């Protein structure tokens, strides 16, 4: 999964979009999936890099999500993306009793997570010492492909 941020402006109006590109790996080669998705991304971290109002005082927030109710093997079941406070250095995804911890190297605080299963999950934001700064808990029900629990984003 790759999250491409794109920012447009016309006259005095600026807006951001996130294009989510998914890939699969066959032996030594990455292959882009044919259908990519685009969604809004706000606020513009280039024009207002210190603007963290959308986080509401939290360390992590979701700005977009999607779900494929019955994904083809090799394709994501759920995708969630958002922004984090600058103090966040690692993200942990917990799903089905498994934990995947990764460093976050993001100039604009943007992050993206995709899961192969449609079961409930958590995204945990950690600081450089491994202390938890915040978390998102949720699932995306099959009947609502754009659902994320209230208060999570």
pLDDT, one tens digit per residue, over 99-140 is 999 999 887 788 888 888 888 899 999 999 999 999 998 766
Whether residue 113 lies inside any domain: the answer is: yes
Domain residue limits at 59: 2-138
Q: Is 152 helix (H, G, I), strand (E, B) or coil?
A: coil
* C-alpha span between 66 and 79 (Å, rounded): 5
Q: Would residue 17 count as lying in a domain?
A: yes
pTM, two decimals, is 0.73
For residues 51 and 85, the answer to whether their CB atoms sit within 8 Å is: no
Q: Domain containing 38 — which CATH number?
A: 2.60.40.10
- Domain-located, residue 152: no
Residue 81 forms part of a structural domain: yes
Instruction: Flag whether 9 is in a domain.
Output: yes
118: β partners:
none
Residue 150 domain-assigned?
A: no
Q: Is residue 144 part of a domain?
A: no
For 80-95, write each residue's pLDDT tens digit: 888 899 999 999 999 9
């Amino acid at each position: 999964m790759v999250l491409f941020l794109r920012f447009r402006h016309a006259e005095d109006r600026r807006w951001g979009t996130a294009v989510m590109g998914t890939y699969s790996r066959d032996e030594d080669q990455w292959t882009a999936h044919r259908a990519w998705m685009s969604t809004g991304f706000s606020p513009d971290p280039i024009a207002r890099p210190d603007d963290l109002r959308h986080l509401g005082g939290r360390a992590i927030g979701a700005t977009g999500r999607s779900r494929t109710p019955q994904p083809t093997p090799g394709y994501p079941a759920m995708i969630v993306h958002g922004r984090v406070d600058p103090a966040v250095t690692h993200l942990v995804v917990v799903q089905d009793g498994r934990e995947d911890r990764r460093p976050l190297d993001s100039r604009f605080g943007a992050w993206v997570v995709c899961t192969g299963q449609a079961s409930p999950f958590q995204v945990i934001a950690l600081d450089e010492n491994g202390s938890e700064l915040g978390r998102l808990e949720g699932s995306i029900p099959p009947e609502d492909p754009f659902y994320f629990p209230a208060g999570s984003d």
